[in-house]
Copies of this chain bind each other. A is one copy, B any other.
């Protein structure tokens, strides 16, 4: 059995605790080899039936970035209009995306039509393909943070519009839009907790037995 030391186990938990959803980025570039190491981590993720349904679009062109940012701005304005009073004020005061600064931006899709894996494990739960993509994103996120690189997951977007704007197949569904870069700050506390939007529940609060 390949073993991992106590020290490694403890540092792994520290890594998970120090991982944040980053929205404040420096504009310094990210070396390609650093990025490729993180993508290698992505691809070690489990996937249902070994279907590897992840499709990673490196969004680099001015036009694609502008379309993604415009998409966010419309969705964010609509979201804001659903809140009232103090909550609306708090929402409006938050920086919810690093899309203007982050040097690297990935749109991550799931290929719902892939024949890879021959449907194993996805018959009653086809959403397993999308969950496999999320598994890859988590590996990426942790590997990136271990290198000091921040990741921010933007979901305030119209997924169908982004799919059209990036000109990817109709049967690819958007799972995440990731902003990636060197973070401006480093903290153990989620920004949403610092700003008073929401708190974290105590450990094991959501465990029950049957």
Which A positions have Cβ atoms within 8 angstroms of B? 1-4, 8-9, 11-19, 21, 36-37, 39-41, 43-46, 48-52, 54-61, 64, 75, 78-79, 82-83, 87, 91, 96, 107, 116-125, 127-128, 130-131, 134-135, 137-139, 141-143, 145-148, 153, 155-159, 166-168, 174-176, 183, 186, 190, 192-193, 197-201, 203-204, 206-210
Contact = CB atoms under 8 A, between A and B. Distances in A.
A199 B50 CA distance: 7
A200 B47 CA distance: 10
A139 B50 contact: no
A90 to B, nearest CB: 9
Given A59-B210, A134-B131, A198-B117, A124 B75 contact: yes
A121 to B, nearest CB: 5
7 contacts: A4-B14, A4-B148, A52-B200, A56-B206, A57-B208, A87-B118, A120-B198
Contacts of A21: 46
Contacts of A183: 1
A55 B206 contact: yes
